[in-house]
Amino acid sequence: MSSSRVAEIEVVVADGGSRKGKEDEEERRRKKQRQQQKGGAEPEPDPVVDVYSAAAYGDLERLRGFVEREGGAASLASPDGNGYHALQWAALNNYPHVALYIIEHGGDVNAQDHAQQTALHWAAVRGATAVADVLLENGARLEAGDVNGYRAVHVAAQYGQTTLLHHIVSKYGADFDALDNEGRSSLHWAAYKGNADTIRLLLFMDANQVRQDKNGCTPLHWAVIRGNLEVCTLLVHAGTKQELKLKDSGGFTPLQLAADKGHRHLTNILSNSTKASFGDKYCLGQLGKAGYAPILFSYLVILMILFLNSIVFAPDFSRITAAVGLWSWVAISLALVSQVVFYRLSRKNPGYIKANTKGLDPKEPLMAIDLSSPTWTGSWSQLCPTCKIIRPVRSKHCPTCKHCVEQFDHHCPWISNCVGKRNKWDFLVFLCMGITTTLLGAAVGFQRLWTEPIILSSSESWTHFMVTKHPGAVLFMFMDIFLLTGALILAGAQATQIARNLTTNEAANQSRYSYLRGPDGRFRNPYNQGCRRNCAYFLVNGYSNDEEAAWPTLQQTLQLS
């Protein structure tokens, strides 16, 4: 069987499953919308006509009326025309007081609809945590499976209800590694649906990443089939590399599947990870971490030699003047100091966050969070599934350094280090020194070439003359200006971002971070205090101000609770 056919079949299987769930959801939503429209300003008939609609609208007074005065008590224990129970409606729309009333007046907390879903399943669809509490405290079966074997944890993972998932796991001990009828765990489903935050939570809790379903697919296989880059990256970075080698029933590893589906970027990531795991095995890991720093170092050394050899002491140039000579030595001294700064920069801690630095237990902290706190905004992106820490808002995990970095800016391969809170200042200083040095070098070089007396034959151009007569000097000018351009672009970008109090990572991936969005969903940087204050803070402290978030972070929530 060709690999593409295998992939197609898998997609059909998976879509079948998901479509069913989606249709159920759509049906519910349509029904609710219809009910809401009925309840609109138009003189439409009253939407609350029976026990079920009263439950769906959370209208406890009317519900009580139906049950206690109009003999509707029997309806609480039996389904409506579509086979759904009043308790399910109350659960879907998160009305805990209504749910409690229904349970206390004869509603079965474990009643199932035609798909064998219970009220808890419906609560999981919408992430209705409060109602889930009422259900579970009144005897709802946490691990009840529906017709597909989906438990509440599966449904929560399918719909990306991370908070509810965390709640039922931490408070009631739900089994997040449980399997449905096809052998899929909640991690499979979160990977397939592309719910990155849910995946972060599951990986943080050490969910099994190498479990293969009945088709032999791991969660990574599913993520690859959907071509979701963020999810694949998460799974690969937090993984043990073992899942990269596992084959599905068609005999394909995730890498082969990605290549087969034509996800080129994904193929690169997976093939690099496979290579990296090979490299780690044969001690080539150090080589990978060294990045391009040795290349940049050699480049700078060559540049200095060329400068001395072909510009300052070149025998074929006229004698150097005292002023130009002095400037040349300034340039050389600056270049030497730059090399020292370069070395220090590449070795300096950019702001690695280690587990327990904030006095948190790396395993347990999440379990202590009070999620019912109304101020909590649920920034699950603060979980690092690899380091197993809850990190400050603006940090990010660097897969090359294998650490989370505070105020992560970017991993710079040219210095073989991350640029973060603790070395951003040094990075800017290094760039400015680079610009000054190369600018001086270029000025001296230009002066030497320009003042050189030239005798051109009629057919020869000035450029041709210089290239043949002073090849070293021309090469120096070329390499120097190339470096100058690069440094100028980088320094310009850094300066702009410092003025905006934004990191390179935030600028590039702003859509991924919920803290960079305002209530209207558009970009809004809560750390930006205006150009002047941003720059002043950076110049005084050496890093950007990150104290001004308008909401409590996951860590603050933890310390409060």
Burial of 535 (0-12, 13-18, 19+ CB in 10 A): middle
Shortest separation between residue 289's beta carbon and Zn ion, angstroms: 9
For Zn ion, which residue of 161, 209, 328, 386 counts as binding (CB under 5 A)? 386
- Among 155, 276, 311, 387, the residue binding Zn ion under the rule CB under 5 A is 387
Closest to 415 in 3D by CA, of 394, 397, 396, 434: 434
How many residues sit in the footprint of Zn ion (CB under 5 A)?
10
Q: Applying CB under 5 A, which part among 86-94, 261-269, 278-286, 395-403 lies near Zn ion?
A: 395-403
In whole angstroms, how close is the CB of 304 to Zn ion at the nearest point?
28
Alpha carbon distance 420, 349 (integer Å): 9
As measured in angstroms, the least distance from the Cβ of 360 to Zn ion is: 14
Q: Measured from the CB atom, is 233 or 386 closer to Zn ion?
A: 386
C-alpha 51/C-alpha 48 separation (Å) is 8
Q: Cβ of residue 403: shortest distance to Zn ion, in angstroms?
A: 6
The amino acid at residue 66 is: F
Q: Which stretch binds Zn ion (CB under 5 A): 282-290, 408-416, 427-435, 458-466?
A: 408-416
Tokens 């205006």 correspond to 530
Q: Which residues are catalytic?
A: 412
Identify the residue among 400, 510, 528, 529 touching Zn ion (CB under 5 A): 400
Q: Which of 292/329 has CB closer to Zn ion? A: 292
Six-digit token string for 432? 């400015």
Least distance in angstroms from the C-beta of 384 to Zn ion: 3
Token pair of 508 as six digits: 């590039």
Between the alpha carbon of residue 60 and those of residues 45, 48, 55, 138, the distances in Å are 19, 11, 7, 19
Q: Which CB atom, from 384 or from 433, has the smaller least distance to Zn ion?
A: 384
Q: Which stretch binds Zn ion (CB under 5 A): 25-33, 158-166, 386-394, 498-506?
A: 386-394
Q: Does 320 sit near Zn ion (CB under 5 A)?
A: no
- Strand ranges across the sheet with 352-353: 352-353, 403-405, 396-398
Report if residue 504 touches Zn ion, rule: CB under 5 A: no
Packing angle, helices 471-500 and 424-450, rounded to 10:
150
Over 58-83, what HEC string results? Answer: CCHHHHHHHHHCCCCHHHHHCCCCCC
What is the Cβ-side half-sphere exposure of residue 382, based on CA atoms within 13 angstroms? 20
Looking at the Cβ atoms of 109 and 234, the one nearer to Zn ion is 234
| Interaction between residue 411 and Zn ion (CB under 5 A) | yes
Q: Which of 31, 151, 184, 397 binds Zn ion (CB under 5 A)?
A: 397
Among 155, 314, 418, 554, binds Zn ion (CB under 5 A): 418
Q: DSSP states of 117-144 as a string?
A: --HHHHHHHHT-HHHHHHHHHTT--TT-
Question: Applying CB under 5 A, which of residues 384, 435, 484, 554 lies at the interface with Zn ion?
Answer: 384
Task: Candidates 6, 91, 246, 398: give the one binding Zn ion (CB under 5 A).
Answer: 398
Q: Given the rule CB under 5 A, which of 12-20, 26-34, 313-321, 394-402 is the region that contacts Zn ion?
A: 394-402
Rounded distance between C-alpha atoms, residue 315 and residue 319, angstroms: 8
List of residues contacting Zn ion (CB under 5 A): 384, 386-387, 397-398, 400-401, 404, 411, 418
